[in-house]
């Protein structure tokens, strides 16, 4: 049976890319597009009328469909952010499903299936987790989802039950407050190369413990980690703890992460194992197709240079 990550690796081979195109229809971006097109006249309390754009689910759908068509040939994966669709209610949910279907259609046109990673960061237990898994994989048709692992393995088991699907667990995220919890010292399990243990345990940051757990849980080749590209030291430490896992590494571009430093810290020895999500750097470009091609080419050039120097 094919797993999500074998599916992903085939796509990486087909398009020679580690680029993950983010589909984030921010209200501000939709409003900007509307200012150059249709406007909705709204009556003010004083009786005057002021024209200003009011984004809708249809605008979010159009925004994403344009990006999919422009960038599909360069994308190893697409990553729609659920929140930017959910804000539109039921119509937004329908739009999200249509975006995922559009990726399928574009994949068929290209003759290479492109994975869709739903960026939802779900985290719950029992029947609630089962419902989240069903909505992600059956209702929406996504191939993978981001999850919070902090409720324990039973919170991700319903997702792992879909053997051909995948999950990326939040490990070391790129936001400024990530260290408030993820850097806390905990007692990790013993490792043969551990310099020190206390009663068979050793102190490690929580994010390292999460990485080690994910590595041990990955018996079905369907678990990866979200590791921010903005902190290369942490990225390298997670790679040491989870040498075989794929990383979803946000933070390049708008968040200030350095591409070469991140790739050097996070790539596996085979030159794979990292997806680099880029959202605003592509969606806000005058020519999204050109921006995606340039990001793809830069990633591959740096990867090739790093592999040549091994």
Whole-number pLDDT of residue 214: 98
- Alpha carbon separation from 41 to 38, 61, 131, 138, 193 (Å, rounded): 10, 22, 40, 40, 67
Q: Catalytic residues, which ones? A: 121
CATH code of the domain in which 61 resides: 3.20.20.70
Cα 116 from Cα 80, distance rounded (Å): 8
pLDDT tens-place values along the chain, 310 residues long? 799 999 999 999 999 999 999 999 999 889 887 776 554 444 555 555 555 678 999 999 999 999 999 999 999 999 999 999 999 999 999 999 999 999 999 999 999 999 999 999 999 999 999 999 999 999 999 999 999 999 999 999 999 999 999 999 999 999 999 999 999 999 876 554 444 455 567 899 999 999 999 999 999 999 999 999 999 999 999 999 999 999 999 998 766 679 999 999 999 999 999 999 999 999 999 999 999 999 999 999 999 999 988 6
User: What pTM, to 2 d.p., does this model score?
Assistant: 0.91
The domain total for the chain is: 1
Residue among 306, 309, 243 nearest 273 (CA):
243
Neighbouring CB atoms inside 10 A of 190's CB total: 11
Per the structure, the complete domain to which residue 97 belongs is given by 4-308
Whole-number pLDDT of residue 129: 98
CB-side neighbour CA atoms (13 Å) of 207: 24
Whole-number pLDDT of residue 45: 59
Whole-number pLDDT of residue 49: 53
Whole-number pLDDT of residue 54: 87
- Alpha carbon separation from 274 to 87, 141, 226, 227, 303 (Å, rounded): 30, 23, 10, 9, 11
Whole-number pLDDT of residue 31: 87
């Amino acid at each position: 049976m094919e797993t999500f990550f074998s599916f992903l690796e085939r796509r990486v081979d087909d398009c020679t890319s580690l680029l993950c195109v983010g589909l984030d229809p921010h209200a501000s971006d939709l409003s900007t597009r509307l200012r150059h097109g249709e406007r909705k006249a709204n009556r003010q309390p004083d009786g005057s009328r002021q024209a200003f754009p009011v984004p809708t689910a249809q605008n979010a759908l159009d925004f994403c469909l344009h990006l999919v068509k422009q960038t599909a040939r360069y994308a190893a994966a697409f990553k729609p952010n659920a929140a930017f669709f959910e804000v539109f209610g039921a119509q937004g949910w329908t739009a999200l499903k249509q975006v995922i279907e559009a990726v399928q259609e574009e994949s068929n046109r290209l003759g290479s299936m492109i994975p869709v990673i739903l960026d939802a960061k779900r985290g719950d237990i029992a029947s609630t987790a089962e419902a989240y898994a069903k909505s992600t994989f059956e209702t929406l048709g996504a191939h993978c989802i981001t999850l919070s692992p902090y409720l324990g393995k039973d919170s991700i088991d319903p997702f792992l039950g879909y053997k051909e699907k995948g999950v990326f667990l939040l490990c070391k995220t790129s936001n400024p407050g990530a260290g408030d919890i993820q850097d806390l010292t905990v007692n990790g399990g013993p490792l043969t190369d551990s310099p020190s243990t206390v009663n068979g345990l050793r102190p490690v940051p929580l994010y390292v413990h999460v990485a080690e757990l994910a590595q041990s849980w990955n018996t079905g080749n369907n678990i990866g980690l979200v590791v921010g590209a903005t902190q290369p030291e942490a990225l390298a430490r997670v790679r040491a703890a989870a040498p075989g896992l794929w990383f979803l590494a946000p933070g390049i571009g708008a968040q200030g992460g350095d591409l070469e430093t991140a790739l050097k810290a996070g790539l596996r020895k085979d030159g794979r194992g990292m997806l680099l999500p880029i959202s605003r750097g592509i969606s806000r470009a005058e020519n999204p197709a050109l921006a995606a091609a340039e990001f793809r080419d830069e990633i591959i050039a740096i990867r090739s240079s790093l592999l040549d120097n091994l």
